Structures are given as C-alpha cells and as structure tokens.
Amino acid sequence: MPQFNDTELTAAVIRSFEKTPDPRVKFLMEELVKSLHDFVRKTDLTFDEWGYAIEFLTRTGQKCTSSRQEFILLSDVLGVSMLVDAVNHRERDGATETTVLGPFYVGEHKPMPHGADISADLPGERMFVKSRVTDLNGKPLANVPVDVWHADDDGFYDSQKPSYETQGPSSRARFVTDADGQFFFRTILPCSYPIPTDGPVGEMILQTRRHPMRPAHVHFLVNAPGYEPLITHVFIEGDKYLDSDVVFGVKNDLICKIEKRNDPLMPDGKPATGPWHLMTYDFRLKPGVGTAPKPMMAEIEAA
C-alpha cells in the first residue's frame, strides 16, 4: 500500500499513467506531474496560494472569447511561448528567425493586391514595406501567401476595437508573392504598445511591477508548401522597449532599420503624399513541413 506523503505520492501518480497507449502522451503526463510536484515541494505551497492559482486560471479561461485568447497571453508573458518556439527552431541554417504568434492573429486576412494600403483610413506616419521570400539559397519563392498584421497608431489591433464588427479588418491582410518572390504594401509606422491589461494576465504584470509594453513591430506569417511555416515579426530599430519586450520576443536579426524618405514617388512608382518610411526586409524559408496556424475567430472557422 503506497503512502501518499510528500515523497511517495509523485511516483504513485506517475504509475497511474502506465497504461497510456500513446508513448508521447505518457511521457508528457509523467514529466508534467514531476515538474508540478517539484514546484509544490520546493515552494511549500500553501492552500491559499494553491486556491489563488486555481482562481487565477479560472479567470484566465473566463476571459477567453472567440477573438481573445488570454491563455496565449499568459504563455507569452511567462516566456513559455518563446521557449516552445526556441526548442522547435534550434537549427535555423540561415533561415529567418521566428518569434511568437501572439493573440491577435484573428479574423479575416483578405487577399490584397501588391501596393495596397492596409491602414488606409488610419492616422499615422506612412510606411512602405518591401519584401521578398526566398529559400535558403536565395531562390525566389513565387505564389506564397504572406499574412501581415500590426497595431494602429494608438497601439490597438483592429480586433480589440468595438468597430471591428462593423468595419472589418484593418492593418491586416494577405499578400501573395509574385514570380520574383516579392510583395509590397503601404501602411502606417507601427508604435510600441501595451498588451491587454484588463484581464488576469495584465493584473499579474502590474502586480509584479513589470511593464506591459511590446516594441513596435509588424507580424508576418509566411506559409509556403514544402517549407516550414515562418511565424515572425519585424521590429523597428531604435524602439525603447526592444530589450525589455514583455513577451521576450525580440531577436537581433528581426530588428530592421527603417529609412526616412522624402522622395515624391514610392518604390512602386506611385506618388507619396508626404514624407514616408521604408521598411525593407526579406524572408528566407527552411525546407520542411508543418502546419501554419489559422487565424483565430469562431465566425471565420465556421465559414
């Protein structure tokens, strides 16, 4: 008869999974139990603390909707998302670095023609984004869908605003690379912004005296058949939060120097309406397989 005390209990719980048919599930459950039990032992967790954790996780779940994922946010601010990313992308072989997907890959990424202004109605400094998708040898990859999304000049994603329901997507779109692997579009210069602080994750950030800020960036998801899906951001050089991103997502190779321009014509030969910024960033894909995530949002999944 095992004694369920603080030393023998762990082995008993691990044994309870011994008939799990899938070896990977069995391994994950055993390791999860070991890590959780170690945490409780090391911290001498009190009933109040355990109860608080249960209540916190309950509220985290209750905050989730079809367009808000508080659990991803929790994983992000605890560095778990970046750690999962790191262990799955140890060897880049010169491919573009990856970073977190984040909770705002939602809604509709409408296919748009090259040169389209994805932030047409929004105030902000104008920016032209010029990019190319290649393999590791620099061979252009044609016909590749690239989803882009970023926050507005006030630091909000379209899906965070009440107007989303009526006005639809803004500052998010899908482009498809041309025969030379290129795509380009107009938008506004993104700014640094706080992650949502009106839920349990924000509460934890504020109570632990962390700041909630992410440095300015544009998200890209490049999904070419025969290549690993690339989930990444391009960060704006000079942002004051680059070395303290609340979700630990910045990598040096993803920081881009944005050029200030006064030229009357933008790179596609169309007139500029005033001073503008140029972001030039190329993506190199690694051969492989993998399934790119789909944008979150119940109405879209049902469609």
Which residues of this chain interact with ligand BEZ, rule CB under 6 A? 73, 76, 100, 102-104, 195, 214, 247
The pair of three-digit structure tokens given for residue 283, joined into one six-digit string: 């993506």
Q: Which is nearer to ligand BEZ, 63 or 214 (CB)?
A: 214
Pick from 247, 246, 238: which is nearest to 279 by CA? 238
What's the min distance (Å) between Cβ of 68 and ligand BEZ? Answer: 11
Q: Which of the ranges 63-71, 96-104, 112-120, 246-254 carries the binding residues for Fe ion, by CB under 5 A?
A: 96-104
**Residue 129 binds which of Fe ion, ligand BEZ, none (CB < 5-8 A, kind-dependent):** none
Torsion 51-53-54-59 (CA) sign: positive
What's the min distance (Å) between Cβ of 105 and ligand BEZ? Answer: 8
Q: Which is nearer to ligand BEZ, 181 or 190 (CB)?
A: 190
Q: Which is nearer to ligand BEZ, 122 or 136 (CB)?
A: 122
Total Cβ atoms within 10 A of residue 232: 24
**Residue 195 binds which of Fe ion, ligand BEZ, none (CB < 5-8 A, kind-dependent):** ligand BEZ
What's the min distance (Å) between Cβ of 199 and ligand BEZ? Answer: 11
Q: Which of the ranges 49-57, 58-66, 95-103, 178-186 carries the binding residues for Fe ion, by CB under 5 A?
A: 95-103
Q: Which is nearer to ligand BEZ, 132 or 214 (CB)?
A: 214
Query: What is the signed CA dihedral for 96, 143, 298, 292, rounded to 10 degrees?
Result: -40
Total Cβ atoms within 10 A of residue 274: 8
Q: Which is nearer to Fe ion, 14 or 292 (CB)?
A: 292
The pair of three-digit structure tokens given for residue 259, joined into one six-digit string: 């050029």
Alpha helices in 63-188 (DSSP H): 70-77, 80-88, 164-167
Quote the strand ranges of 118-237, DSSP E.
126-134, 145-149, 172-176, 182-188, 193-194, 213-214, 217-222, 230-236
Give the interface with Fe ion as residue ranges (CB under 5 A). Answer: 102
